[in-house]
Amino acid sequence: MVKKNVILICIDGGRLDRAQSSNIFNSMVSKGVFFPQTITYAPYTNSAIHAVISGSYGNRNGCFSYWHSLKFKKFEYKTLTEYLHENGFFTYADVHSEIVLPRIGFDEYEIFDESSADLTQRHLKILEMLAGKNQNFFAYLHFSNIHTGIRDTVLKVYNNFSNEYFNNKKENQEKYDSLFGLAENYLDNIIKKISELDLWKNSIIIVFSDHGISIGEKIGERAYGAYCYDYTIKTFSYYLSSQFTGKEVPMQIRHIDFMPTILEQLNIKLDDDFKPLDGISLIPLISGKPFDEKIAYTETANPLNENAPPKKPNTKSVRTSKWKFILNEYNNSKELYDLENDPNELENIVGNGLEIEEILLKELNKFQDVNL
């Protein structure tokens, strides 16, 4: 029988820079592997989490926009939840909306009121309940307080081009830091409870962000979901397991790599009756074996009309640790950034005759509109 529980904890809207400056978040490195270049498929929750739970990109699995959250191709893509359920795991999800991840495979699927729920106390009780079961468990826990705060103080107050918002980055940063403090308190309590329940030694725990949040870096995006810049698509993840401890891996990985990594560590074979995964196992990488970095693909639907986001992605990017190429179909423009020398993506060097531009455009075309 498989001897590891699996716990996924999503810090919705968690920024990488803020996690890196947090003592509480940094304390997790000693318990596992820290990936500071974790790239999301989509800079918004529903498509990002569908990619996590299926190991596949949204333009393949059916969840490629806000409008397609409930159109996951469950007969073509088998989820992590299903694999674990079939292997005797009790499966449990706690989310703020059913659009976050597919219900399929869950024994219990709870939806909380994000405006009123005390998620710290709620999730502490869930962990106690699960630890008391006489079987391995899989838990997906969604911490949405940052998202809720941004919704109420930014999205409901400003539009995508409000000078009042984009001219006040210091105030935006302070507002975000206050919300991130809620995540630190939450995680501090969760870490202590995991220790109290003695779950470290027999669990795989991934703490990650689905996407980052703008604090006004680029006019036209007051929060997330409009562009493919690093402040929203380059996130963090901590892969916590007693088998791998005390490592920071600077190489770029993708959300879609979580699922095959978990399955390999649990010795669960992929089902050939379903379509192959886009992600690959990170076990060789975190074991110190040779590993080639994979290109990360991201896409989103830029909401030019705030009341009606497009039904198909219209801005897309491919990324390596050094380079990023962006195709903006909504205004027929291209962008190229040297991320090593320009990490804030301030100087668009597209059209300068660099060979990497053509290479990345060809790579992007491999991903585009696969099954839309």
What are 272-282's pLDDT values in tens digits? 999 999 999 99
Domain boundaries along the sequence of the chain: 5-286, 296-367
- Under 8 Å between Cβ of 89 and 138: yes
Mean pLDDT for the stretch of residues 273-293:
96
3-state helix, strand, coil in the chain (%, to 5): 35, 20, 45
Structure tokens at 352: 């300068």
Q: Check pLDDT > 50 for residue 143.
A: yes
Does residue 304 carry a pLDDT above 80? Answer: no
What average pLDDT does this structure show over 155-183? 93
292, pLDDT greater than 70: yes
pLDDT at 150 over 70: yes
Residue 239 pLDDT > 50, yes or no?
A: yes
Neighbours of 241 (CB within 10 A): 22
pLDDT for res 118: 98
Query: Per-residue confidence at 308, pLDDT binned at 50, 70, 90?
Result: low
- pLDDT at res. 28: 96
The arithmetic mean of pLDDT across residues 129-150, rounded, is: 97
Among the residue ranges 9-13, 59-63, 243-247, 354-358, the one predicted with the least confidence is 243-247
Q: Which band of pLDDT confidence, cut at 50, 70 and 90, is reported for residue 66?
A: confident
For 208-221, write each residue's pLDDT tens digit. Answer: 999 999 999 999 99
Query: What single letter denotes the amino acid at residue 322?
Result: K
Pick the CATH number of 296-367 from 3.30.1120.10, 3.90.79.10, 3.20.20.240, 3.40.50.150: 3.30.1120.10
Calculate the CA dihedral of residues 300, 305, 309, 314 and round it to 10 degrees. Answer: -30
pTM: 0.96
- Using 50, 70 and 90 to split pLDDT, how confident is the model at 369? low
pLDDT at 360: 98
- Edge-to-edge strand order for the sheet containing 296-300? 296-300, 315-319, 323-328, 333-338
5-286 topology per CATH: Alkaline Phosphatase, subunit A (3.40.720)
Reported confidence tier of residue 370, pLDDT bands at 50, 70, 90: low
Identify the band that residue 236 occupies on the pLDDT scale cut at 50, 70 and 90.
very high
Residue 1: the pLDDT is 43
Taking each continuous run of H as one helix and of E as one strand, the counts in the chain are: 13, 13
**What mean pLDDT is reported for the chain?**
94
Dist. CA 174–CA 180, nearest whole Å: 10
Which of the pair, 1 or 8, is modelled with greater confidence? 8
Contact 331, 21 (CB under 8 A): no
- Distance separating alpha carbons of residues 275 and 106, to the nearest angstrom: 21
Average pLDDT over residues 163-185: 95
